[in-house]
A and B are shown apart, each in its own frame.
Chain A
């Protein structure tokens, strides 16, 4: 017996009794009132009619409730299904007195249909009929609506999925790209050390999920054409869809091109500072040369102080520029084979006047057996400059500054700059090579911005060397740095290049002042 027939019988049964019972009660009441109690026919009939009407009303309302209950239940099932199972409590079918089996079966059918609609197993366009519901928009149509190229990649580095922006970016149809190795479609080059494939290799061995973003990724189309992107990649191991990683590219070609053309604020500020400085240094030199012989010793001393200060200012301005370069990852050195003794002597010659006007003198000891070193002349000159400048500043009353250079036990050229001044409190030692730091104890009488040691460390490190300090309060400090013999780094020499290019993290340095 099917559910519908059973439901009909249930309804027929209840209707039969629902009609029969009032009739029965009405007849029984009339007999009771007339025959037993002895009321007149008229009175008994009136009372019986009233009772009959009441019974019929009760019976009708019970019948109506019972027979409409399944319909109401169906309605709430449908509305429950339509609301995506969220806002309404699921109807309880157990309380149903009529047609429970029928309604239960129908409810299951309704739930079934509803769940099929909300999960678009087939992404065919037929599902757009229900697209008014947010849950029914296919992920593919979302991806295609995004104007940013997105690639899905499997564990073998083959493309599993592209959105329309990606296929038009590559200039091929999706079916021509899918299944091809990603590196065939994208010729990406990364600024700095970590490329996408480096990151992916690392992510595969160490992580279950990982994300990473890059700036200024270059996509080389041909020799004259390239685009610049910001790029985001995410990795998720063992993804069941087969897509292991995703790449999204954000075109920044115009922005970065503009940036590249722009002279940075620091470069412009430095240019403005240097122009009057050049002029001052020029006229000071003219005065020194031509007035020098006629001046009193006191005025000669003033002239020297002026000269030394202008020199110091020029060095400081270069420091600012170089620190800005390091921060922008734009500083690079060209290491060449150099005679260290020559560089050191030239640097000390330049510093002699500065030391003298402050009442210091520099003792220079250079060992004879030094091999040619790998150095960027200008940069390493700046290191010596900064270390000696510090020694002058922090010497207090001591007059002597000692520079020593020799080959150490590891075959490196080790150079130290020693002063006999105030020394460095232990508390500031850990931050010494950081930016904008200076000894708080002597901050009143000591100038400086704390760029010098930060810069020196970055430059020495870029040379492949090390820099460190030993100091005792009240006794002075020794700053020591190492440089590598050229033989040790010459393997890095690029064919056809005159020098080895090294960066603080990547590129070419400052001014090659003497280029012969």
Chain B
């Protein structure tokens, strides 16, 4: 996969990314790659805190791990997408996990999320390329 060769497409205001990820090395790598590509990144390493930021901060993209301390990513996703959350969260939610879900869980997760990535299958650069392809 080639990195996007169109730096002109970068918006004037940098896109804000919330990275909910408890594996420090992975969040470091993602932060580095995303920052280099012009994104603004906030890393949160547990579920409860992730939920708080997802609901209060205005993020364009939320990278959401599933195996998380205090609250797992699937529960967090249900909470963010709950109809009682007003105004609804508009940021794109991309599941980034190494856990392959059973298909029924996965289908529900995919219904609510905007993407599902297996972290081991992509490099940080490929993640950036993928995020650049998202339609806002």
Contacts and interface: CB of A to CB of B under 8 A. Distances in A.
Given A278-B26, A516-B135, A267 B124 contact: no
A79 interface: no
A263 B115 CA distance: 21
A46 B23 CA distance: 127
Nearest to B118: A511
A82 interface: no
Q: Main SS of the interface on chain A?
A: helix
A20 to B, nearest CB: 103
Contact of A511 (B114, B117, B135): B117
Nearest to B99: A271
Given A267-B100, A330-B102, A512-B116, A275 B23 contact: yes
A190 interface: no
Interface string B90-129: 0000000011111110110010001111111111110000
A274 B98 contact: yes
B100 A278 contact: no
Interface in A235-290: 260, 263-264, 267, 270-271, 273-275, 277-279, 281-283, 285-286, 289
B103 A513 contact: no
A319 B130 CA distance: 23
Contacts of B115: 514-515
Contact of A317 (B67, B114, B120): B120
A143 interface: no
B41 to A, nearest CB: 15
B: contact size bracket = 20 to 34
A486 interface: no
Contacts of A514: 115, 130, 133
A263 B99 contact: yes
A516 B136 CA distance: 11
Contacts of A349: 1
Given A260-B102, A286-B29, A314 B125 contact: no
Contacts of A273: 120
A279 B98 CA distance: 12
Given A279-B23, A282-B124, A332-B103, A511 B29 contact: no
A278 B99 contact: no
Contacts of B104: 260
Contacts of A279: 23, 25-26, 29
Nearest to B24: A279
B40 to A, nearest CB: 20
16 contacts: A264-B102, A271-B100, A274-B98, A277-B120, A278-B23, A282-B124, A283-B29, A285-B123, A318-B121, A349-B1, A511-B100, A511-B116, A512-B116, A513-B121, A514-B133, A516-B133
